[in-house]
A and B are shown apart, each in its own frame.
Chain A
Amino acid sequence: MNARAAWPVLVTLAGAVALWALGQAVGAYWQIVLLNVAMWIALTQSWSVFSGLTGYISLGHVVAYGIGAYVVVSGWGMLPLWLLVGLAGLASGLFGLLVAIPVLRVRGPYFVILTFGLAELVKYAVLNVETMLGKSSRLIFGAPGTETLLLAMAGLAAAATLLRHFVGISRFGRGLAAIREDETAAETIGVPITRFKVLAFALSVTLPGMVGGLMALRSTYFEVLQVFNPTISFTIVTMAIIGGNEDARGPILGVLFLVGLSEVLRSASPQLYLICLGLVLVGFVTYAPTGLLGLLHGRRARR
């Protein structure tokens, strides 16, 4: 591995270790805030692997999160945690492969609506399965503490960041970017668009499945509507837009900005928080479509 490739790896790993170390130094409340930071980074980076690079905006990434959570909760107490989290990733990755082929046939707004609808479909399917099983509520006892979850989540955040980085700079990533710019032209010059899109989609939903599996253990009570909550999908997209999609630094900036904003505003007024969020989003889409990352670059270019 040459120095150019090694630097991002070192920086990412150092960041993950710093996140975890910070978690050792702060109180219980801030530990959970850090866990949330790591979770959103893992989710937004993963989302960006597909949606950021190809421009196909997925509003259904919560489906991977929910599937992962459901796998871990169903097997809780029967299999060890590391295996369950691995299975969670496998299940959501396979689900991604399975649905990618039909879903990726549509483009633009139709794709956005289809992904959203798909997530809702899976949510109600799982709800009905739970009803048939007579499992109206599941309690989870003996889950690991926040410190363990934070360690694992920092690892997933680092993995997602590296995935986004290396896909972005690879031939594969350039192919995906070509699809974003002009899908027909990309096909003409020889990009295997279907294979690339399916692969990117499956990669993009694998880690979120593991994230969902871990986050299910943060609650003692499992409820289907909570882990398939569409707000999770919306938040991912918001963070990606605010941060910027150019490279792996964008999602991190977006997550830090939004989590920071919510912590500052929560105690002030929760309703104000959501209004501010809306204004910030409108502001970014209108005046800084390239996100915080774009603003940062623009500044450097002007200097």
Chain B
Amino acid sequence: MMKRLFAGLAATVLAASAAWAADPVKIGYTIAKTGLFSNAAPSQITAYDLWAEQVNADGGLDVAGEKRPVELIQYDDESDPAKAAQLYERLITSDEVDLLLAPWGTPHHLNVAGVVERYGFPMVGNTAASVAIREVAPGNIWFPTSAIPDKIGPELAAMLKEAGVGSAAVIANVLPFAQENLQYLVPALEEAGIEVAMNESYPPDIKDMTPLLTQIKNSGADAVIALSYPADSFLYMGQARELGIDQPYQFLLVGPTIAAFNGAFGPAADGIITLGHWSPQQADWTKAQPFYDAYVAKYEMEPDYLDTALAYMSAEILQQAVAEAGLDHDALRSAIANGSFETINGTIEFDGVENAVTPTAFLQRQAGETHIVWPPAIATAPLKKR
């Protein structure tokens, strides 16, 4: 009887200590579930969810040697950057999260940067792309993207020059990311000796591109560069086909990396060039194909080659830094700032707030697969004419 009682007690104590050991690591983030940017949210949420599921299936997050399950806490920032900042304060002070993941988009990142700086809470960013990120005080936020406008312009010009392009027609959305790119692209094209045959900006909610596309057709340019956002990238595809735009090189800024884009246009998307620095085709990045397969198995669609990849990478970087340094903010900050991380996008190291390793790159859809076509160092296929 006594023996059984002791055994019971021991079991209880063991169970209790096991439960204590398995205390979850709380990881918070906000995302635009409603409002202007809500279309962009799924590509990032799916990456975080997949990552958390994989970590938990593997026994939990390695916190400096101790495995603990992860629990994601998500708030809707209603597409309002100021609300995102407010909710990150809430995550830090009221929910007392152990770690932070990033929100979506440049305005949100730059706003949250102020919060993580104030609390000295390190956060790995992801989907922010602007020269403005360099104005952020380095220390508690990092940007793994290499898609920064002052590098995109010159690289794009270099790629097109290599392909023998003599003239380009440029159209640009008036929204910030497109305009920032335009600012660096046009001088780079001219410097590369590529004639800018046309340079027009258009409103963000454009519903008909026919006049612009007719102008492109008449310009006789060898390449089309559309500094577009997702909605106008879709519009371009439909109307360019109707008007028979047949330039051998056609570049769309944001949109073609989204699964729905290739789903909607199928073979017609072949040859479209876009911005991105990740592809599962890159065999040197051993984690890339397994990630792609796991994503497709879970969600039955392709990941967004830009946003999903970046979101997942940011979680991988955090995971590896926590394995080394644990949850202490100072140790974690130094681990992220000085570490070298193996991600689906290859090795990542930071210099200040920026990714110091990954080059600015471009993707092209070829026979239903998305390949890196520039720069040659990481290319998985040569650039092809459309």
Contacts and interface: CB of A to CB of B under 8 A. Distances in A.
Interface in B96-121: 106-107, 110-111, 113-114
B33 to A, nearest CB: 5
Chain A, interface residues (CB within 8 Å), range = 20 to 34
B81 A219 contact: yes
Given A29-B94, A134-B183, A219 B86 contact: no
A28 B180 CA distance: 34
Interface string A213-237: 0010011110101100101000000
Given A131-B179, A225-B36, A271-B33, A124 B110 contact: no
Interface string B172-193: 0011110110010000000000
A109 B183 CA distance: 42
What is the interface residue range for chain B against chain A?
35 or more
Contacts of B36: 225, 229
B34 interface: yes
B204 interface: yes
Contacts of A267: 75
A220 B113 contact: yes
Interface in A229-263: 229, 231
Contact of A219 (B107, B130, B179, B201): B107
Interface in B128-179: 130, 132, 135, 174-177, 179
Nearest to A145: B118
B262 to A, nearest CB: 28
Contacts of A127: 174-175, 203-204
B35 interface: yes
Contacts of A128: 174
A270 B85 CA distance: 17
Contact of A29 (B78, B86, B132, B176): B86
B33 A223 contact: no
A142 to B, nearest CB: 11
B195 interface: no
Contact of B89 (A28, A134, A137, A226): A28
B343 to A, nearest CB: 27
Given A128-B174, A131-B179, A131-B201, A223 B76 contact: no
Contacts of A226: 80-81, 107
B81 A221 contact: yes
Contact of B93 (A27, A136, A225): A27
A164 B338 CA distance: 58
Contacts of A32: 86, 89
A231 B204 contact: no
B207 to A, nearest CB: 14
A101 interface: no
A274 interface: yes
A161 B302 CA distance: 54
Contacts of B90: 29
A219 B106 CA distance: 12
Given A27-B94, A29-B90, A137 B78 contact: no
B82 interface: yes
A29 B82 CA distance: 12
A226 B82 CA distance: 10
Given A136-B180, A137-B180, A221-B81, A124 B114 contact: no
Nearest to B81: A219
A296 interface: no
B271 to A, nearest CB: 29
B35 A220 contact: no
Contacts of B180: 136-137
A139 interface: yes
Contacts of B204: 127, 225
A266 interface: yes
Interface string A133-155: 01011010100000000000000
A139 B204 CA distance: 21
B184 to A, nearest CB: 11
A29 B34 contact: no
Nearest to A35: B86
Interface in A178-228: 215, 218-221, 223, 225-226
A136 B177 contact: yes
A7 to B, nearest CB: 35
B105 to A, nearest CB: 10
Interface string B18-51: 0000000000000001111000000000000000
Given A131-B179, A137-B130, A139-B132, A270 B82 contact: no
Interface of B: 33-36, 75-76, 78, 80-82, 85-86, 89-90, 93-94, 106-107, 110-111, 113-114, 130, 132, 135, 174-177, 179-180, 183, 201, 203-204
6 contacts: A137-B176, A139-B110, A219-B111, A223-B176, A225-B36, A270-B75
Interface of A: 27-29, 32-33, 124, 127-128, 131, 134, 136-137, 139, 141, 215, 218-221, 223, 225-226, 229, 231, 266-267, 270-271, 274
A-B pairs, 5 with minimum CB distance: A270-B76, A136-B179, A136-B176, A221-B110, A29-B90
